[in-house]
Amino acid sequence: MEIILKKYHGLGNDYIIYDPNRNKLDLNTKRVRLICDRHFGVGSDGILFGPIWEGGQIKLRIFNPDGSEAEKSGNGVRIFSKYLKDSGYIKDKSFVLNTLGGNVNVEYLNKNGDLLKVSMGKTTFLSDKIPVTGPSREVIDELMTFNNKEYRVTCLSIGNPHCIIPMENISKEKASELGKYVESSRNFPNRINMQLLKVMDRDNIQIEIYERGAGYTLASGSSSSAAATAAYKLGLINNKVTVHMPGGNLKIEIQNDSTVFMTGTVNAIGSINLSEQFIDELLKI
């Protein structure tokens, strides 16, 4: 058996492409964990499983490093779209990609397909849709307690759930420490992604990210979209903003109907041909 994987990154957020049309081994939770392991496996922030063809649409499944399935990933969508172009699946300048978190419109902005604009869908602050426990409401600038300390938070869904916490000073250390408490808080029955938000000016924000099922992350498209939308809802920024992250920057545009557009780059890393020994390990689990 031969298994060939492709690896890309979007601003340091790296993903493995597992194409079921070219590889015959089924993935399960343990196999995803081993492949994503940075010491015993290939190492990545997740696996993009596809393309899957359903009803004339291209479907993508997104797996976190812990084996859980994510609804949507902005960087993942851009990366997968670049792979589709590189592999000859897509020849048009735009297409629609189906994810668990809904359809997204993808547009290639250059010939190589490494600069893309993606419609991330519409956001909602409704607690029932995110979800957040308690009475039905919009979760905006609300007090919540994590690790015995109160924070003002804004929560939303953009196909996947996010909790945004504005702060004057943010860091990797703060995100890594607080994120594990936020992700698994009883407020969020399906767990949640967390962003620490610093507003630089009306056109620029900075975020630090702790992703559900992955931990601290250098960059995230859905996190950028969520943080920008929350800051806009709070009246802190304009509707077009640059999101600064440790891995790089993304452009976010928020329209009047709450649709969010994300523009950013993708980098190809290469192909990985798994060894027979590693494949044997996968077959055993």
In whole angstroms, what is the distance from residue 235 CA to residue 150 CA?
22
Q: What is the pLDDT of residues 99-158, one digit of tens each?
A: 999 999 999 999 999 999 999 999 999 999 999 999 999 999 999 999 999 999 999 999
SS3 277: helix
Predicted confidence at residue 160, as pLDDT, reads: 95
Give the mean model confidence (pLDDT) for residues 50-72.
Answer: 95
Binding positions:
13, 64, 74-75, 160, 193, 211-212, 221-222
Give the mean model confidence (pLDDT) for residues 85-99.
Answer: 97
Binding positions for substrate:
13, 64, 74-75, 160, 193, 211-212, 221-222
b/e string for 132-161 if b means 16 or more Cβ within 10 A?
Answer: beeeeebbeebebebeeeebebbbbbbbbb
Structural domains of the chain, with CATH = 4-114+267-283 (3.10.310.10), 122-261 (3.10.310.10)
Q: Binning pLDDT at 50, 70 and 90, where does residue 55 land?
A: confident
Predicted confidence at residue 56, as pLDDT, reads: 86
Percent of the chain with pLDDT over 70: 100
Predicted confidence at residue 267, as pLDDT, reads: 97
Give the mean model confidence (pLDDT) for residues 78-96.
Answer: 97
Q: Binning pLDDT at 50, 70 and 90, where does residue 169 land?
A: very high
Kindly state the tokens that stand for 277.
């020994």
- Please give the model's pTM, rounded to 2 decimal places: 0.92
Percent of the chain with pLDDT over 90: 99
Give the mean model confidence (pLDDT) for residues 149-168.
Answer: 97
Evaluate whether 106 touches 96 at the Cβ level (below 8 Å). yes
Q: What is the pLDDT of residues 239-267, one digit of tens each?
A: 999 999 999 999 999 999 999 999 999 99
pLDDT value at 35 more than 90? yes
